[in-house]
Amino acid sequence: MPKMALFKKLILLSTSFFIVAFLHRLNLISLPSFLLRIPFLSGASDSEEEERIPPTHHFTLSDSRTIAYSIYNPSITSKTAFYFHGTPSSHHEAFLLASAAKRYRVRIIAPSRPGFGGSEFNENGTILSYADDIKQLADGLGVKRFAVIAVSGGAPFGFGCWKGISRNRIVGLAIVAGIYPVEGMNWSSRKVLLKVAGWWPGLVEWVIDRQVGGLEEDGIEEMMKSGGSEEEKKMWEEASEEMKKSVIMSVREGVRYGGKGAAWELKLLGGNWGFELEEVRPGRKGEVVLWHGDRDENVPVGMARLGRERLGELSELRVVEGQGHGTLTVYMAEEIVRSVGEMFER
């Protein structure tokens, strides 16, 4: 091939590359996820400013209840994931995935569930009825198709959405350090807490109020420094100031109304969910992916393995060595968000 012809082809290829990249960064086209590992295409840059906690918004449901939520990457509309926080916590927890979501161009909408973080308590709420809240919020924000990322105590509500929302709308489900039906849990302090919440939620509410309800920012930070596993302590030491702020806000907002929301939710988690895991099996591979740390003391990995068996062979369990309950979301953020992005391409 003559040098001039080769030169022209290289110029054409380079020009096409930059045009495609420009259109992608304007959110006018969507690229395959493997191309998003190229920093220029993903929009990531070492010189970018540190991620900031987004503002809190409020949405009024049809029954006049108000729910609080935040949005990460609001300009992106092609790929949206709802983030379901743990128990007790709030919508600020989704900051843990902020950098990865920006890199892989996924918009995250993070609502606080009833009784947490500015969302009104719902004494008639169930795990299955929460799907109606999410459908209304999605409608109100103009979101037609979405995935769900459900962490820890948010997992049952993620499964509830998988049960109650059409597959034409919900494209996939990512469960991170999730809790599963308690019949698969060995008797421990965690199982006792879930059972007691079912019998005497008022007692559990009082305990949560005593332990967390009165903690100020310094107290929460000290709890994070001194409590938990060595992996969790190390993660806290290495976290950015904004991430630490988001965790503190998550805890404080999680008990904004005292322990009532958490106690009610623990009652739901330890009781009958209203459906069996066999009823929420995926229809094809890649739709439902479970992440779990092999050092998880809150929810032993055996529960995840049993849950995966009940969800069927088309579900996928990724056991992560050396990770516990509180570190998994941060440690696996890139893989989680990348996998969620790929759910839209199937």
CATH of domain 57-343: 3.40.50.1820
Phi (first) and psi of residue 197, to 5 degrees: -60, -35
Poorest-confidence range of 16-30, 49-63, 236-250? 16-30
| Closest by Cα among 201, 51, 217 to 123 | 201
Q: What would the pLDDT profile of 159-178 be if each residue is shown by its tens digit? A: 999 999 999 999 999 999 99
φ, ψ of residue 277 to 5 degrees: the values are -60, -30
Quickly list H helices, 88-200: 98-103, 130-141, 155-164, 189-199
Which pTM does this prediction carry? 0.83
pLDDT at 100 over 80: yes
**Helix, strand, coil shares, percent, the chain, to 5:** 50, 15, 40
For residue 209, report the phi and psi dihedrals to the nearest 5 degrees. -60, -45
Percent of the chain with pLDDT over 70: 78
Q: In the chain, where are the structural domains located?
A: 3-42, 57-343
Confidence of residue 134 (pLDDT cuts 50, 70, 90): very high
**C-alpha separations of 272 from 38, 114, 156, 160, 183 in Å:** 46, 19, 11, 12, 10
| Contact partners, residue 310, CB within 8 Å, separation at least 6 | 276, 277, 278
Higher pLDDT, 236 or 155: 155
Phi-psi category of residue 228: left, alpha or beta, with phi > 0 → left and psi -120 to 50 → alpha: left
Average pLDDT of 305-320? 97
Q: Is 286 helix (H, G, I), strand (E, B) or coil?
A: coil
State the pLDDT at residue 217. Answer: 59
**Type of residue numbered 55:** P
Side by side, the strands of the sheet bearing 57-60 are: 57-60, 66-72, 107-111, 80-84, 146-151, 170-176, 288-293, 316-320
Between the two ends of the chain, the Cα-to-Cα distance in Å is 39
The pairing of strands 80-84 and 66-72 is: unpaired
Residue 268 pLDDT > 50, yes or no?
A: yes
Helices 201-208 and 189-199 sit at what angle, rounded to 10 degrees?
Answer: 120
209-233 pLDDT, tens per residue? 777 656 565 566 666 666 667 777 7
pLDDT band with cut points at 50, 70 and 90 for residue 63 = very high
Rounded Cα gap, residues 333 and 216, in angstroms:
28
